[in-house]
A and B are shown apart, each in its own frame.
Chain A
Amino acid sequence: MSQPRIRVLVGKPGLDGHDRGAKVIARALRDAGMEVIYSGLHQTPEQIVEAAIQEDVDVIGLSILSGAQMTIFPRVKALLKEQNSEDILLIGGGTIPDEDIEVLIQSGDAEALFTPGTPTGDIVAWIKERLGVDSPPYEHA
């Protein structure tokens, strides 16, 4: 009997095409034993939420470098509510100003936001602690 494996959707909403950061995070989460579903570029909030539901992820991580955070986070959160899927954690990262972070966390539209320079290990640790599960060490078949 194995432990549930952590599944994360890394999403790139909106118009910006810079996905180096999203790829670095995806890779770090993979190396921490998580299954990472990468959405690809230019996703709508609707596409992201639908993918999260189908993939039964524990966490959605949005990468935003376009300045659209104040529109996208509330929209994704609202869609999750609409779909009865608020149990999926919504986090994000990118170039997000401190004052916006405060507002988004306060309103509950994001659970955590990580800005440039955050060690990837901090994000891994946050997810594992928040979910209260650890990805099991790998066993060779």
Chain B
Amino acid sequence: MTLSVNQWLGKLLLHDRRAVARLISWVEDNQEQSEIMRTVRAQSGQSLVIGITGPPGVGKSSLVEALTRVYRQSEERVGIVAVDPSSPYSGGAILGDRIRMQAHGTDRDVFIRSMGTRGHLGGVARSTADVLRILEAGGYPRLLLETVGVGQSEIEIMRLADTVVVVLNPGTGDGIQAIKAGIMEVADIFVINKADMPGAERMKNDIEMMLDMNGHGGRAWRPPVILTSVLEGKGLHELIDEIARQQAFLSESGTLIIRRQEQLQREVWQHLEDRLKEAFDSLWPALPTEWLTEGHKDPYQLVDKVWQKMSGHKREGGNT
């Protein structure tokens, strides 16, 4: 179907599924992005995003599937974005998160979209925030985001999710892992999934101790630690309740406003960074050979020169 952007946007607001799908593709491919998002943002932004993150294989997709089942029981329409890594060599990707979500495969009130990271680091793709809002504007207000399987420092989920759920498994590390910086600091809720396996209680204790120790970073919200077993269907309602409690806290405490400001700042920076990189990439091949020769000896001076060329200002001028 060859329709114009405006025609697709019109269909989106009527909750047409193909329009949702097509507009997501355009935004992912960087086409008509700003025009699309102007309309979409005007019709979205109310929904709170639940972000599910954690190492590969801990059961993120299964947990998303299980949460979706519970939300469907109360007739909520669910939009899911599941991110998997793109190849650094070919740029291609195998997107396999749907496999765990087959139960909702023909439910028209659930929309599942798989994304490749397309070179973006941090556990999500560059356009994931936009894709979530397209789903919201397209009639799926209960938003779930599943990141790629992450290690210790992929924390960009903070930029996208209002509720960060960090999923771990028993037996994957001792108390030292729990006090390390990075992903352990950004959780609003900890989930120890596969709690039917040994060591779940011990891990819960380690995390609770970590939370007691650091006073949870001075935040008023103390992340709960929940034991779940998707296999045995345990802990899911408790998780749903804690998500609701955290989201109520966000609104009531005013934290949501602060978070949204931070999210906007990071989002604007990300797009600026893209433009800077574009400008840098086109400038670099045109640099005089002497500059490069000198640059090997004094890279910092080369940085100053390049910065001056790009910004039209000297660094000392206070323009950053």
The interface of chain A, by Cβ under 8 A from chain B, is: 1-5, 7, 26-27, 29-40, 43-44, 46-47, 50-51, 53-56, 83-85, 87, 135-141
Check A139–B119 contact: CB distance below 8 A: yes
B29 in the interface (beta carbon within 8 A): yes
Q: Mark B109-142, 1 if CB is under 8 A from A, else 0.
A: 0011110101111000000000000000000000
- Which residues of chain B come closer than 8 Å to A54, judged between CB atoms? 17, 20-21, 111-113
Q: Mark B87-118, 1 if CB is under 8 A from A, else 0.
A: 11111111110111010011010011110101
**How far is B120's CA from A54's CA once the two chains are assembled, in angstroms?**
22
Check A4–B29 contact: CB distance below 8 A: yes
Q: Tell which of A3, A26, A44, A53 touches B94, judged by Cβ atoms closer than 8 Å.
A: A26
Check B88–A140 contact: CB distance below 8 A: yes
B25 in the interface (beta carbon within 8 A): yes
B215-233 with Cβ < 8 A to chain A: none
The number of chain B residues touching the other chain, given as a range, is 35 or more
Interface of B is mostly: mixed
- Which residues of chain A come closer than 8 Å to B100, judged between CB atoms? 40
Q: Tell which of B29, B106, B113 touches A44, judged by Cβ atoms closer than 8 Å.
A: B106
| Shortest 9 CB-CB contacts between residues of A and residues of B | A40-B99, A138-B91, A30-B92, A56-B21, A47-B105, A141-B119, A56-B25, A33-B90, A4-B29
**How far is B94's CA from A138's CA once the two chains are assembled, in angstroms?**
16
**How far is B18's CA from A84's CA once the two chains are assembled, in angstroms?**
9
Residue of A nearest to B93 (CB): A35
Known: A2-B30, A33-B90, A35-B116. A43 touches B25 (CB 8 A): no
Residue of B nearest to A28 (CB): B92
Residue of B nearest to A6 (CB): B92
Check B91–A136 contact: CB distance below 8 A: yes
The interface of chain B, by Cβ under 8 A from chain A, is: 1, 17-18, 20-22, 24-25, 28-31, 86-96, 98-100, 102, 105-106, 108, 111-114, 116, 118-121, 277
Q: Tell which of B24, B29, B30, B88 touches A138, judged by Cβ atoms closer than 8 Å.
A: B88
Distance to closest chain A CB from B23 (angstroms): 9
Pair count A-B, CB < 8 A: 117
Residue of B nearest to A2 (CB): B30
Check B98–A40 contact: CB distance below 8 A: yes
Distance to closest chain A CB from B83 (angstroms): 12
Check A55–B113 contact: CB distance below 8 A: yes
Q: Tell which of A1, A31, A40 touches B30, judged by Cβ atoms closer than 8 Å.
A: A1
23 contacts between A and B (CB under 8 A): A4-B29, A5-B91, A33-B87, A34-B92, A36-B94, A38-B94, A39-B98, A39-B99, A40-B96, A43-B102, A47-B106, A50-B105, A51-B98, A51-B112, A53-B18, A53-B21, A55-B95, A55-B113, A56-B24, A56-B25, A83-B18, A135-B92, A138-B88
**How far is B141's CA from A137's CA once the two chains are assembled, in angstroms?**
36
**How far is B107's CA from A44's CA once the two chains are assembled, in angstroms?**
13
- Which residues of chain B come closer than 8 Å to A27, judged between CB atoms? 94
Q: Tell which of A36, A56, A83, A141 touches B93, judged by Cβ atoms closer than 8 Å.
A: A36
Check A33–B91 contact: CB distance below 8 A: yes
**How far is B25's CA from A87's CA once the two chains are assembled, in angstroms?**
15
Known: A50-B105, A56-B21, A84-B1. A3 touches B91 (CB 8 A): no
Given contacts A38-B98, A38-B99, A85-B18, 10 further A-B contacts (CB under 8 A): A5-B116, A40-B98, A40-B102, A47-B106, A55-B21, A83-B18, A87-B1, A138-B89, A138-B91, A141-B277
